[in-house]
Amino acid sequence: MVGANGIGKSTLLRTLANIQLPLSGEIKLQNKSLFSYSNTELAKEISLVLTEQIPSKNLTVIELIALGRQPYTNWIGNLSKNDYEIIENALLKTNLLELKHRKCYTLSDGQLQKVMIARALAQDTSMIILDEPTTHLDMYHKAYVLNLLKTLAHETHKTMLFSTHEIDLAIQLCDEMIVMNNGCVFSGTPCELIEQGIFEKLFPTDLITFDASSGSFKVKRTH
């Protein structure tokens, strides 16, 4: 999901994730209204990776990921053998095995983001919603995280819905894109969207223009 600052990407994601109420309209998940789901049912369908900092960074990596199993555990949160296998698998898939006993405050932003993705993965939902998962990351880690999401989506058959400002990377890595523009929303594969010239209208054209042949934005030469 891409769009200019302030267009409402986060608001839409937060509404879809049931963090805030919709202003109007209806949200359906698997042909069922989002509001007819109970808390626990919804927790088994949608997991989140948000931009907000977690309050307790004293958690170890494995403790944090284990919290993703809460919708499935009993009243006191005991983890079963199956839960441990899923946690281990999430660690493996996100390449975090050697960090699993580290405290979160010792991790870099990129590592912490991977941990948050692993936690969402351990929640074992059909959909993972991520709000700008690549902010604060360097160029390599931006590409790494988005590539990881693509791999995970294909391997685990989960829908990964995320907002991002990395339009170039998204065009290269996403299966489908939602482009939010003033008043209208477009969706389709990156190729279709380029052919329709959707990206040209995304920003004011006084400074940057979209180059359809390379699929990226270029700064206009000015004198």
Partner 1 sequence: MSDQPTYRVTFLVLSLVLIAAFLLNISLGSVAIPLKGIFAAFTGGEIEKETWRITILEIRLPKAITAILVGCGLSLSGLLMQTLFRNPLSGPFVLGLSSGASLGVAMLIMGASVFGGVASLVLTSSYSLVIAASLGSFLVLLTVMVVSFRIKDTMSILIIGLMFGSITAAIVSVLTYFSDAEQLKQYMMWTLGSLGSLHAEELSILSILSIVGIILSIVAIKPLNAFLLGENYARSLGINIQKSRYIIIIATSIMAGSCTAFVGPIAFIGLAIPHITRLFFQTTNHKVLVPSVCLVGAILLLICDSIAQVPFYDITLPINAITSIIGAPVVIWLLVRKRKMIF
Binding site for partner 1 (CB under 8 A): 17-19, 38-44, 46-48, 50, 52-60, 62-64, 67-68, 70-71, 73, 75-77, 79, 81, 84, 100, 105, 123
- Closer residue to partner 1 in complex, CB, 63/200: 63
Nearest approach in angstroms of CB 139 to partner 1 is 28
Tokens of 120: 């969402």
User: Minimal distance in Å, beta carbon 128 to partner 1?
Assistant: 10
What contacts 217, CB < 8 A, 6 or more positions away?
Answer: 167, 168, 199, 203, 208, 209, 210, 211
CB of 94 to partner 1, least distance (A): 17
| Residue 166 Cβ vs partner 1, minimum distance, rounded to whole Å | 23
Nearer to partner 1, 57 or 218 (CB): 57
Query: By C-beta, is 85 or 175 nearer to partner 1?
Result: 85
Comparing CB distances to partner 1, the nearer of 57 and 154 is 57
User: How wide is the angle at C-alpha 204 spanned by C-alphas 198 and 207, nearest 5°?
Assistant: 115
Two tokens at 186? 């477009």
CA 150, 180, 28 angle in degrees (round to 5)?
Answer: 70
Do 3 and 13 contact (CB within 8 A), yes or no? Answer: no
- Supply the minimum distance, in Å, between the C-beta of residue 150 and partner 1: 23
Comparison of 64 and 171: residue with beta carbon closer to partner 1: 64
Residues with Cβ < 8 Å from 166, sequence gap 6 or more? 134, 142, 146
